[in-house]
């Protein structure tokens, strides 16, 4: 199931690179490419390959990239974050994962309920 991101808001892609034993590994070159597909199936890169940031506080193998969802994207679209790094144990091997993100309009976010402080009175006590 895809996670959701709101048009015009920041979304954080994150990855934990792990080895074949599912143990976190320190990689030197984590990158992300963010893309979508047109209605005709043509891949459209939204972000070319850029370096990902290590998390704070530091955690072996975990990296993030914050991306603001452009207002030019449409409600219901899907974007993809392809995150890669070179396997430190075998420089000929690439570690790779893809996260799919469903894009939604702010009017659909939180069930259409505006966010912020609100008061609700309930009988009883």
Whether the per-residue pLDDT at 117 is higher than 90: the answer is no
Q: Would you say residue 45 has pLDDT above 90? A: yes
pLDDT at 13: 96
Q: Quick one: 104 exposed, middle or buried, by C-beta within 10 A (0-12, 13-18, 19+)?
A: buried
Q: Are 6 and 24 in contact (CB under 8 A)?
A: no
Q: What is the pTM of this model?
A: 0.82
Q: What is the mean pLDDT of residues 28-51?
A: 95
Q: Identify which of 11, 118, 17, 110 has the alpha carbon closest to the alpha carbon of residue 63.
A: 17
Side-chain-facing half-sphere of 98: CA atoms under 13 Å: 8
Tell me: pLDDT of 108 over 60: yes
């Amino acid at each position: 199931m895809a996670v959701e991101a709101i048009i015009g808001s920041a979304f954080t892609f994150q990855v934990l690179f792990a080895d074949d034993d599912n143990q976190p590994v320190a990689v030197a070159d984590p990158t992300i490419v963010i893309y979508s597909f047109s209605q005709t199936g043509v891949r459209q890169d939204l972000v070319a390959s850029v370096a990902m940031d290590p998390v704070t506080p530091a955690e072996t193998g975990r990296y993030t990239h914050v991306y603001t969802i452009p207002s030019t994207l449409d409600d219901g679209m899907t974007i993809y974050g392809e995150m890669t790094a070179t396997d430190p144990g075998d420089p000929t091997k690439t570690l790779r994962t893809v996260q799919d993100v469903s894009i939604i309009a702010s009017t659909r976010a939180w069930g259409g309920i505006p966010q912020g402080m609100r008061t609700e009175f309930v009988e009883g006590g």
